Amino acid sequence: MGSITLEHVNKSFGGVEVIPDISLEIADGEFIVFVGPSGCGKSTLLRLIAGLEDVTSGRILIDGEDVSRAAPAQRKLSMVFQSYALYPHMSVRGNIAFPLKMEKAPREKIDQAVNNAAAILNLTDYLDRKPRQLSGGQRQRVAIGRAIVRQPKAFLFDEPLSNLDAALRVAMRLEISELHNKLKTTMVYVTHDQVEAMTMADKIVVLNAGRVEQFGSPLELYQRPANTFVAGFIGSPRMNFIDGAEAARHGAHTIGVRPEHLVVTPEGGDWSGVVKVSEHLGSDTFLHVDVDGIGALTARAPGDVPFRHGETVGLSPMNGRLYRFDAQGLAL
C-alpha cells in the first residue's frame, strides 16, 4: 500500500512562501510526475513528502495516516537523489544493504534481498566495487537498488536522470518504467523534462511558482490544457500563442495552436507569412514563419517539405485543434 495525500500543504523558507497551498491525492501504485520550470518548488514538494523538510502548515498523509511530523525514517519511503548520494566508503553491496542494516534485518534476509535487487538491476558483477569505480548509469542503478530493498510504500525520485547522457537517459527511463510495472509500487518522480513526464507518468502534476496548474493524465494535459501555462509547457516545440484582433475574431483573449496542428500549404491558408528559418530534422521540418499582424509562428511539417528561407507559405490550424483562452489565461 502506498497512497499519499497532501492537504493544504504550505511551505515557507524564512518568510518566503515557496508553496502557497497544495492539495493532492496520489493513489496506491500510481506513477506520478511533478514537472515544471526550474525553481517552481518540485524538489521542495518531494522533500516535504520525504520528511526532509517540515510543512509550514497543512497535512501529509500516507495510507491515511498523518505523517506531517514524522521523521523520514518512519515514513517508509525511499528516495533516489539527482546526485545518487551513494555512500562512497561502502561497496555496492554495502550501499544496497544499508537500509536493511538500519532495520536490523537478519543476515540471510539482507543477503537475499541484496542479491535479488542486484539481479533485477544487472549489478551482480559489481557488488564488491566502490561507487567511484562505476559509470553514471551503474551508480544510478545502485541508488535504485538501495531504494527497492526496503520494499518502501513509495519511491521518490528527484531528477534521477539529469546527470546522464542522452542515450543512457532514454535507456534508464525505460528501466524505471519497467520497474514500476514489475513492482507496482507508488512512484513520485520529479523532472523538468517534459518528455520524461509524458512517457513515464500515469498522471502529471504541472507546477508553476509553487502552485498546481493542472493534474491529470499526459494525454489530458496535451489535449485539454487548463491554461496557457500548461498549454505552453507540455508539447514540443511549444504551442504558438496569438493575441489581439486575430484572437478576438475567435472570441478569445488568446488563442493557441500547436506546431503539429498547423497545415502548411504553398499558398492560401488562414494566415500567410514568410519562412524565416526552416530546420530539417530528417523526420520533421520545423518552419519558423513570420506572419503579418500576428508575429512568428512555428509549424511542424513532414521531413521532405520543399519550403526554404524567404518563401511565402500559407498556414491553417486543423479543425478543432485551436485552443482558446480568456484574459486570465484559462481555457475557454
Ligand X SMILES: Nc1ncnc2c1ncn2[C@@H]1O[C@H](COP(=O)(O)OP(=O)(O)OP(=O)(O)O)[C@@H](O)[C@H]1O
Q: Which spans of this chain sit near ligand X (rule: CB under 6 A)?
A: 13, 18, 36, 38-44, 192
Biggest CA–CA distance in the chain, Å, is 76
Radius of gyration of the chain (CA): 24
DSSP secondary structure string for all residues of 156-216? EEESTTTTS-HHHHHHHHHHHHHHHHHH--EEEEEES-HHHHHHH-SEEEEEETTEEEEEE
Strands 4-13 and 295-302, by their bridges, are: unpaired
Chain centroid, CA 277 distance in Å: 30
Burial-class residue 209 by CB neighbours within 10 Å (0-12, 13-18, 19+): middle
| CB closer to ligand X, 18 vs 221 | 18
Minimum CB distance to other proteins, residue 88 (Å)? 6
| CB closer to ligand X, 42 vs 203 | 42
Minimum CB distance to ligand X, residue 120 (Å)? 28
For residue 58, give the amino acid letter: G
| CB closer to ligand X, 40 vs 80 | 40
Q: Which of 73, 119, 171, 330 binds other proteins (CB under 8 A)?
A: 73
- Please check whether residue 53 is in contact with residue 44, taking contact to mean a CB–CB distance below 8 angstroms: yes
Segment 38 to 57, residues that bind other proteins, using CB under 8 A? 50-54
| CB closer to ligand X, 25 vs 53 | 53
17 backbone dihedrals φ, ψ, rounded to 5°? -80, 115
Stretch of 37-45, 118-126, 138-146, 299-307 contacting Mg ion, by CB under 5 A: 37-45
41 binds, among Mg ion, other proteins, ligand X, none (CB under 5 to 8 A by kind): ligand X
Bridge partners, residue 59, by sequence: 7
103 binds, among ligand X, other proteins, Mg ion, none (CB under 5 to 8 A by kind): other proteins
Segment 137 to 166, residues that bind other proteins, using CB under 8 A? 146, 150
Question: Residue 43: helix, strand or coil by DSSP?
Answer: helix
Question: Residue 317: helix, strand or coil by DSSP?
Answer: strand
Any contact of residue 191 with Mg ion (CB under 5 A)?
no
Any contact of residue 263 with other proteins (CB under 8 A)?
no
Minimum CB distance to other proteins, residue 315 (Å)? 48
| CB closer to ligand X, 40 vs 96 | 40
Residue nearest to Mg ion (CB): 43
Q: Which residues bind other proteins (CB under 8 A)?
A: 50-54, 69, 71-73, 77-79, 81-83, 85-89, 98-99, 102-103, 146, 150
